[in-house]
Amino acid sequence: MGKLKVEEKKIAIQVTDLDKVYKLYEKPSDRMKEALGLSRQKRYKEHHALSKVNMAVHQGETVGIIGTNGSGKSTILKIITGVLNPTAGEVTVNGRISALLELGAGFNMEYNGIENIYLNGTMIGFSEKEIESKMESILEFADIGDYVYQPVKTYSSGMFVRLAFAVAINIEPEILIVDEALSVGDVFFQAKCYHKFEEFKRMGKTILFVSHDLSSISKYCDRVVLLNQGIKLGEGTPREMIDIYKRVLVGQYTVPDEDTENLLHDRELTEAAAGRNADKRENPAGVNPELLEYGTNAARITEYFITDEAGVHTTAVIKGQEFTLHMKVEFMEDIPAPIFAFTIKNSKGTEITGTNTMVEKAFLESVKTGEKKEITFRQKMSLQGGEYLLSLGVTGYEQDLFQVYHRLYDVLNLTVISDKDTVGYYDMDSVVQVEQIL
Range 387-400 average pLDDT: 93
Query: pLDDT tens across 156-209, in order?
Result: 878 888 888 888 888 778 899 988 766 656 777 777 888 888 888 888 899 998
Query: pLDDT tens across 211-244, in order?
Result: 888 878 888 899 999 999 999 999 999 988 988 8
- Please give the Cα distance from 239 to 228 (Å, whole number): 17
CATH architecture of 287-417: Distorted Sandwich (2.70)
Strand partners, 351: 345
Which is nearest to 74 in space by CA: 190, 213, 230?
A: 230
DSSP label at 367? B
The predicted pLDDT at position 39 comes to 67
Q: Cβ(345)–Cβ(351) under 8 Å?
A: yes
What's the pLDDT band for 370 if we cut at 50, 70, 90?
Answer: very high
The predicted pLDDT at position 273 comes to 35
Among the listed ranges 28-42, 99-113, 413-427, which one has the minimum average pLDDT value? 28-42
The yes-or-no verdict on residue 138 having pLDDT over 80 is yes
What's the pLDDT band for 40 if we cut at 50, 70, 90?
Answer: low
- Please give the Cα distance from 381 to 309 (Å, whole number): 11
The yes-or-no verdict on residue 85 having pLDDT over 70 is yes
Question: Could you tell me the pTM of the whole model?
Answer: 0.76
The predicted pLDDT at position 182 comes to 63
The predicted pLDDT at position 265 comes to 44
The predicted pLDDT at position 161 comes to 82
Query: pLDDT tens across 295-327, in order?
Result: 999 999 999 999 999 999 999 899 999 999 999
Mean pLDDT, the chain, whole residue set: 84
The predicted pLDDT at position 270 comes to 35
DSSP label at 424? S
The predicted pLDDT at position 114 comes to 94
Cα(first)–Cα(last) distance of the chain, in Å? 77
- Please give the Cα distance from 54 to 233 (Å, whole number): 11
Q: Which helix (H) or strand (E) holds 51?
A: strand 44-58
- Please give the Cα distance from 205 to 126 (Å, whole number): 18
The predicted pLDDT at position 206 comes to 94
Strand partners, 392: 342, 408
Percentage of residues in the chain having pLDDT higher than 70: 87
The predicted pLDDT at position 407 comes to 95
What's the pLDDT band for 104 if we cut at 50, 70, 90?
Answer: low
Query: pLDDT tens across 328-365, in order?
Result: 999 999 999 999 999 999 888 888 999 999 999 999 89
Q: Cβ(403)–Cβ(395) under 8 Å?
A: yes
The yes-or-no verdict on residue 151 having pLDDT over 60 is yes
The yes-or-no verdict on residue 2 having pLDDT over 50 is no
Rg of the chain, C-alpha, whole Å: 27
Query: pLDDT tens across 236-287, in order?
Result: 999 889 888 888 887 877 766 554 454 444 444 333 333 433 333 344 557 7
Domain ranges in the chain? 287-417
Beta strand 223-228 with 97-100 is unpaired
Among the listed ranges 40-54, 125-139, 264-278, which one has the minimum average pLDDT value? 264-278
- Of 101 and 148, the one with more pLDDT: 148
Which is nearest to 94 in space by CA: 131, 56, 46?
A: 56
Q: Cβ(98)–Cβ(72) under 8 Å?
A: no
The predicted pLDDT at position 281 comes to 31
The yes-or-no verdict on residue 6 having pLDDT over 50 is no
